[in-house]
Amino acid sequence: MFASPDDFSRAETLHKELNRHNHLYYVLDAPEIPDAEYDRLFAELVELERKYPELQSVDSPTQRIGAPPLPEFSEFAHRAPMLSLNNAFSDEEIEAFDRRIRETLDTHAIEYNMEPKFDGLAINLVYEQGVLVAGATRGDGSTGENVTANLRTVNAIPLRLNAPHPPEFLEVRGEVLMLRKDFELLNASQREKGEKTFANPRNAAAGSLRQLDSRVTAQRRLSFFAYGWGTAAGVTLPLTHSAMMEQLAAWGFPLTQLRATGIGVEGLLRYYRQIGEQRDSLPFDIDGVVYKVNSLAQQTTLGFVSRAPRFAIAHKFPAQEAMTEVLDIDVQVGRTGAITPVARLNPVFVGGVTVTNATLHNEDEVRRKDVYIGDTVVVRRAGDVIPEVVSVVPDKRPATARAFVMPTICPVCGSHIVKSPEEAVARCSGGLYCSAQRKQALLHFASRRAMDIEGLGEKLVDQLVERELLHTPADIYRLTMEQLASLDRMGEKSALNLLAAIEASKNATLPSFIYALGIRNVGEATAKDLSYHFGTLENLLQAGAEDLTAVSEVGEVIAQSILQFLAEPHNREVIRQLLAAGIHWPVVEKLSSTQANLSGKTFVLTGTLPGMSRDEAKSLIEGQGGKVSGSVSRKTDYVVAGAEAGSKLEKALELGITVIDQDQLIALIEQSKQQD
């Protein structure tokens, strides 16, 4: 049976596609498609060539392992080839693998070494007389890129073997990868600098290791795990793979603690499921597990095929990335008002579930990733992580694709959507009114440092909101005994206590009321600054941008947050209702310009003061325009030390900062008042 013209055409197309994706993956560290899609195309070509051998050519991707070295790096020839592994995706394929091994070796049971399949960059380390002399990427399996200088910056790689009599020559194979936490830190840093972010830890590790300047590599936290060896001379090898791994560990190489040995196919599948259950909680990415016949003598008997050993196989996990089409992009409003673009997807099975939506994080990310409605995209889902759009497949963009337009009005409450130049996230300015932010706004309003309504916690707020009893903070003051007593786990006594706490909260302070409103960027300290500067709420409500920026520590960003919040009529209406409910506060003594003795001065309180609490001391300082910080730095003006002062006092003395006691603090405050 011979291949048809269509078979020849399809094989040629697959050759071109797979070679292009090899170049993107191995050379440019910029893959366009997920591994699962590459595996599918590769498996299709393997099957075509198996069925029609005349389709196989010497330059077929099935005969290659990776890609040639980049010209920027010198070539490095591996003494023993760095082969790839055949993949299996089902239990049946693993059963067939084990059966072939047993039949070839004519035995009933095989012991296997089992380990995770790291999703990183395979490397070869060369040691002569125990000293690291070279390191290279896998490349095409025979020749890799010499990245010795960069590998020397990876702290986990020993520069000298821990051995009194090391091997004359040793090739150690392993994986350079980036831990998930280090990947997140790197991408955050890249965003801050306005530089390219990485799609996943594997790309980040590969891009970091192949820097032309090793100083850049040194700044990135790369990890390494050994998983095998190539040529070894001047050393007697143990009898098993697992024993050789223990020898590598004794020489100083890091190994995964997830290694194990098992007998037969039952042991293999049990290990596969155990590691699969741990996959999402591991500190690094893996995409499967690797099984190797443990006996080195049996490995030698089994030998190799053209591109892979017969004694080993990779058992892949279900893909965490897949390709699908973006049907639309709309936005969701978070509990803090954050506006998040969300891609509505053609349903796709990924990470064990069917995914129909994926986050695009923010408008800047949509632009950076260049996602259009109608695009084919790569979607990633790992465990319980919200699915996200990783990248676009540019070649598949249709002529009808259209760009996303960020709305200017909140789809939930109709308030304006605003974006500060200081952050990437756009936000709804609805605040007290927006139902998407309702629970968060209510909890903040009732919190201890705001209106301090004891007993109005998260579970109770959930019930009140779900029963439509609370829409805005003003509704708190309309709650009745009957309404509260009808709630789950809320008896008459609890209801009475809550009503008493609500009534007590009406005796507020102006700073706590301003803070309770939940204006973005207005924390406790800023609320106090605003109170002491304007004196009354009415003055604050009438303030313009110039008035606001005249307040100490209030810049343009905070001023704009206040103005945007107060520009929404419904926010002002909620404030009116709160005041009508009876919330009041003592008259605030407005700071005059001559009360600048403590203005701009930073205090740190430490130890126990004999005549006042920390909060009382803080109020006295802030009442005269001073600031209270929680930590000592060179910007600290005074440290107020009481009994049992600890490390803050020591640091103040070390930095030469003025240290005063309670009496000296009171004297400073009195002096400030007399200057008024």
**What CA–CA distance (Å, rounded) separates 379 from 392?**
9
- What's the total number of domains in the chain? 5
207 within 8 A of 198, measured Cβ to Cβ:
yes
Q: Give catalytic status of residue 117 as yes or no.
A: yes
24 part of a folded domain: yes
Q: Give the three-class secondary structure for 313.
A: strand
**What CA–CA distance (Å, rounded) separates 436 from 332?**
9
Asked if 262 and 137 sit in the same domain, the reply is: yes
Higher pLDDT, 423 or 97: 97
Nearest to 537 by CA among 562, 520, 561, 554: 562
Would you place residue 98 in the very low, low, confident or very high pLDDT band (cuts 50, 70, 90)? very high
Predicted confidence (pLDDT) per residue in 305-354, tens digit: 867 899 999 999 877 788 999 999 999 988 778 899 999 999 998 877 78
Could you tell me the CATH number of the domain that includes residue 332?
A: 2.40.50.140
Instruction: Return the bridge partners of 339, or none.
Output: 333, 426
Asked if 196 and 109 sit in the same domain, the reply is: yes
Question: Residue 23: what are its φ and ψ, rounded to 5°?
Answer: -65, -45
Asked if 202 and 102 sit in the same domain, the reply is: yes
pLDDT at 1: 66
**What CA–CA distance (Å, rounded) separates 142 from 402?**
45
pLDDT at 593: 47
pLDDT at 177: 94
Q: Which residue has the tokens 């560290």?
A: 29
Higher pLDDT, 673 or 448: 448
Question: What is the enclosing helix (H) or strand (E) of 289?
Answer: strand 286-293
204 within 8 A of 311, measured Cβ to Cβ:
no
pLDDT at 63: 64
Question: What is the enclosing helix (H) or strand (E) of 144?
Answer: strand 143-145
**16, 117, 396, 651: which is the annotated catalytic residue?**
117
Instruction: Return the bridge partners of 340, or none.
Output: 332
pLDDT above 80 (res 619) = no
Q: How many percent of the chain have pLDDT more than 90? A: 48
> Which whole number is the average pLDDT over 129-140?
92
Question: Which range of residues forms the domain containing residue 31?
Answer: 5-64
pLDDT at 382: 65
Which amino acid, residue 339?
A: I
225 part of a folded domain: yes
Please give the model's pTM, rounded to 2 decimal places.
0.53
User: In sequence order, which residues have a C-beta less than 8 Å from that of residue 368 and are 6 or more positions away?
Assistant: 197
Could you tell me the CATH number of the domain that includes residue 44?
A: 1.10.287.610
443 part of a folded domain: yes
Predicted confidence (pLDDT) per residue in 168-184, tens digit: 999 999 999 999 999 98
> Which whole number is the average pLDDT over 154-163?
90
Asked if 372 and 456 sit in the same domain, the reply is: no
Final residue in a domain of this structure, among 352, 379, 403: 403
Asked if 166 and 32 sit in the same domain, the reply is: no
Q: How many percent of the chain have pLDDT more than 70? A: 94
**What CA–CA distance (Å, rounded) separates 355 from 358?**
8
Mean pLDDT of the chain: 87
User: In sequence order, which residues have a C-beta less than 8 Å from that of residue 574 and are 6 or more positions away?
Assistant: 432, 433, 472, 473, 474
**What CA–CA distance (Å, rounded) separates 191 from 421?**
14
pLDDT above 90 (res 578) = yes
- Distances, alpha carbon 598 to alpha carbons 241, 534, 624, 675, in Å: 72, 18, 6, 11
Q: Which residue has the tokens 């909890």?
A: 443
Would you place residue 26 in the very low, low, confident or very high pLDDT band (cuts 50, 70, 90)? low
CA 448 to chain CA centroid, nearest Å: 31
Asked if 195 and 297 sit in the same domain, the reply is: yes
pLDDT above 80 (res 595) = no
Asked if 287 and 399 sit in the same domain, the reply is: no
Q: Which residue has the tokens 């089902």?
A: 90
pLDDT at 266: 95
pLDDT at 429: 87
410 part of a folded domain: no
Asked if 504 and 534 sit in the same domain, the reply is: yes
591 part of a folded domain: no
587 part of a folded domain: no
Predicted confidence (pLDDT) per residue in 458-497, tens digit: 889 989 988 999 999 999 999 999 999 888 888 888 899 9
CA angle centred on 675, ends 532 and 627, rounded to 5° = 40
Question: Residue 583: what are its φ and ψ, rounded to 5°?
Answer: -70, 130
Asked if 151 and 263 sit in the same domain, the reply is: yes
pLDDT above 50 (res 594) = no
Higher pLDDT, 7 or 300: 300
Would you place residue 274 in the very low, low, confident or very high pLDDT band (cuts 50, 70, 90)? very high
The encoded tokens of residue 184 equal 């997140």
428 part of a folded domain: no
339 within 8 A of 417, measured Cβ to Cβ:
yes
Could you tell me the CATH number of the domain that includes residue 498?
A: 1.10.150.20
pLDDT at 591: 57
CB atoms within 10 A of CB 488: 7
405 within 8 A of 61, measured Cβ to Cβ:
no
Full DSSP string of 199-211: SSHHHHHHHHHT-
pLDDT above 90 (res 550) = no
> Which whole number is the average pLDDT over 580-587?
93
CA trace torsion 143, 149, 153, 158 (10° rounding): 70
pLDDT above 90 (res 552) = no
Asked if 171 and 294 sit in the same domain, the reply is: yes
First to last CA, the chain: 104
Could you tell me the CATH number of the domain that includes residue 256?
A: 3.30.470.30
The phi-psi region of residue 361 (left if phi > 0; otherwise alpha if psi is between -120 and 50; otherwise beta) is left
pLDDT above 70 (res 23) = no
Would you place residue 45 in the very low, low, confident or very high pLDDT band (cuts 50, 70, 90)? confident
324 within 8 A of 356, measured Cβ to Cβ:
no
Burial class (CB in 10 A: 0-12, 13-18, 19+), 107: exposed
27 part of a folded domain: yes
**What CA–CA distance (Å, rounded) separates 213 from 217?**
7
Predicted confidence (pLDDT) per residue in 226-246, tens digit: 999 999 999 999 999 999 999
- Least confident stretch, 170-179, 190-199, 362-371, 400-409: 190-199
CB atoms within 10 A of CB 392: 19
Q: Give the three-class secondary structure for 422.
A: coil
| Number of residues that this document lists for the chain | 676
3-state secondary structure 110-135: CEEEEEEEECCEEEEEEEECCEEEEE
Could you tell me the CATH number of the domain that includes residue 652?
A: 3.40.50.10190
Final residue in a domain of this structure, among 258, 282, 316: 316
CB atoms within 10 A of CB 650: 12
Asked if 91 and 168 sit in the same domain, the reply is: yes
Nearest to 371 by CA among 355, 390, 354: 390
**What CA–CA distance (Å, rounded) separates 424 from 365?**
9
Q: How many CA atoms lie within 13 A of 310 on its CB side?
A: 16
Q: Helices 5-22 and 35-51, interaxial angle, to 10°?
A: 140
Asked if 124 and 264 sit in the same domain, the reply is: yes
User: In sequence order, which residues have a C-beta less than 8 Å from that of residue 8 and are 6 or more positions away?
Assistant: 55
Final residue in a domain of this structure, among 580, 615, 645: 580
> Which whole number is the average pLDDT over 590-606?
69
Burial class (CB in 10 A: 0-12, 13-18, 19+), 631: exposed
> Which whole number is the average pLDDT over 207-234?
89
